[in-house]
A and B are shown apart, each in its own frame.
Chain A
Amino acid sequence: MRIKSKPILLIEDDSVDAMTVRRAIKELHVVNPLEHVENGEEALAYLRDPGRKRPCLILLDLNMPVMNGIEFLQAVKEIPGLKCIPVVALTTSDEQEDKVESFELGVAGYMRKPVEYQQFVEIMRTIDAYWTISESPL
């Protein structure tokens, strides 16, 4: 990550998937703190809380209870200060509809969670490398 002080916000309901992300960023020596919430509603509450640090990147699962990823993207798009935070969809869904809708709602990337952990590490390595090179609006 280019900005090291800001957290990465992980929106994910599956605890093992959350462990996977945590383990991968540790393995890749990403120093940004990881904030983990379990659905879109909790994520909105986090982002609206002035006491919390703005994340430099959001990793978003799509299929979640209470408020799913697509609904979260729709909500975030309407909030001026939040819509410029890059969101990478990190999901199981291979549905074309989900992909199209995610990009229409402005995601910065769409990654399918692989079944193999090492492949997942490679995906996280690429995300980290990209957001180290790329300028960010934050």
Chain B
Amino acid sequence: MTNATPDILIEHNASWLMDIAADAMLIADANGHILLTNPATERLFGYTRDEFARLGIEDLIPQRFRVSHDARRADYAAHPESRKMGGETELYGLRKDGSEFAADISLSPIEAGRVLATVHDITSRKRLETEQKRMIHELESVNEELKNFAYVVSHDLKAPLRAIGSLADWIAADQQDRLDADGQEHLRLLIQRVRRLDALIDGVLRYSRIGRLHETVVSLDLNDLAHEIVDSLAPPAHISVTIAPGLPTIRAEKTGIQQVLQNLIANAIRYLDKPQGHIAIDCADQGDSWRLSVADNGPGIEARHFERIFQLFQTLNPRDRVESTGVGLSIVKKIVEQNGGQVWVESTIGQGSTFYFTVPKQHPATTEIENKP
């Protein structure tokens, strides 16, 4: 210890505290001369204790920060308080070997303008932050690419497809007399496949759009919504749809819930195979969520298919028998899960299926906002 040792540390016999501290601690006087350093400081900066005694605080910061540091030090002397140094600016330390490291520095006034500085090397945290920034940036560009991809799919793939469809239509119409039965049948199949591909592309687009735009969460009267959807689907006369009385008003994104219910009810109608079809829409209160259900007395689904039916482009019937893209239920699943709910099916072969999905009473997006201070 040199004769520059501040009295306070001797009087209070506190220098042992600095010696065992894991963080670098040093004491400087009002002019920025370094009076005392602890072993952690010596390890961090690479100077010996004797070398430190000949240095000023400015020698420990990179050249580019030195000019402004003088003024800042004077400012601190005028308003001494225990605080973090630098505020929002990023601080760097300069080692003896000329290398730099990112640092958090806390300042505490002692007496007679002396200041205790605690220096914490945050290089690894910085590296993580940089890595995180890079990943977020990467994610953003992937997202952007996906968005462009959807556009390319919608235009650049559909334009030639439409041309194929039109040309096939015209050949079928204009060359009818010249085509034999086989030729006409092939052309019919060709046109049908064009329509199918068109529907698949639309499905990909619809699926990829989910979650790209977030709607506002609104109060949604499920009773009104269910009636609206059933009206718009106009079920045939042999199918009756009952909507349970007293469906609640929930808080959710309207288009999402609408699409989920619509897809489930439309599926129930499409696959109903009984002379008297029944579809029932119901809702149960599960405490922190609502459980909605769409039940039908259709053909039912084997348990081994319960997972598969929610996957994109998966259908259980050959497409030539039931024209279906296999997108509807995957959209249902994506919407429900993005809104913090779950979807599942219960079914008895020959007797019907019930699709359930849950909607949390506390919408995930609103929770986030409300949690912010």
Contact = CB atoms under 8 A, between A and B. Distances in A.
Contacts of A93: 151, 154-155
A66 interface: no
Nearest to A96: B213
A13 to B, nearest CB: 9
Interface in B133-170: 151, 154-155, 158-159, 161-163, 165-167, 169-170
B194 interface: yes
B163 A17 contact: yes
Contacts of B213: 96
B175 to A, nearest CB: 14
B161 A14 contact: no
Nearest to A118: B169
B360 to A, nearest CB: 27
Nearest to B213: A96
B154 A94 contact: yes
Interface stretch (A47-55, A80-88, A109-117): A109-117
A126 interface: no
Contacts of B169: 116-118
Given A14-B163, A17-B163, A20-B166, A115 B194 contact: yes
Contact of A115 (B162, B170, B205): B162
A38 to B, nearest CB: 14
B198 interface: yes
B162 A113 contact: yes
B165 A117 contact: yes
A92 B195 contact: no
Q: Is the interface of B mostly helix, strand, loop or mixed?
A: helix
Given A93-B154, A94-B154, A117 B159 contact: no
B167 A92 contact: no
Nearest to B194: A115
Interface in A86-107: 92-96
Contacts of A26: none
Interface residues on B, range: 10 to 19
A14 B161 CA distance: 12
B159 A17 contact: yes
Contacts of B155: 63, 92-93
Contacts of B159: 14, 17, 63, 92
Nearest to B174: A23
Contact of A16 (B166, B194, B198): B166
A94 B165 CA distance: 19
A115 B166 CA distance: 7
A115 B170 CA distance: 13
Contacts of A115: 158, 161-162, 165, 194-195, 198
A105 to B, nearest CB: 19
Interface string B269-313: 000000000000000000000000000000000000000000000
Contacts of A133: none
B148 to A, nearest CB: 11
Nearest to B161: A115
A23 B162 contact: no
Taking each of A14, A17, A117, which has the highest tally of chain B beta carbons within 10 Å of its own beta carbon? A117
Contacts of A63: 155, 159
Nearest to A61: B159
A14 to B, nearest CB: 6
B173 to A, nearest CB: 8
Interface in A14-32: 14, 16-17, 19-20, 23
Nearest to A24: B166
Contacts of B158: 92, 115
27 contacts: A14-B163, A16-B162, A16-B163, A16-B166, A17-B166, A19-B166, A20-B166, A23-B170, A63-B159, A92-B155, A92-B158, A92-B159, A93-B151, A93-B155, A94-B154, A94-B205, A113-B162, A115-B158, A115-B165, A115-B194, A115-B198, A116-B169, A116-B195, A117-B165, A117-B169, A117-B170, A120-B166
Interface of A: 14, 16-17, 19-20, 23, 63, 92-96, 113-118, 120
Interface of B: 151, 154-155, 158-159, 161-163, 165-167, 169-170, 194-195, 198, 205, 213
Nearest 9 pairs of A and B residues by beta carbon = A16-B163, A117-B169, A115-B198, A92-B155, A117-B166, A115-B165, A63-B155, A115-B162, A20-B166
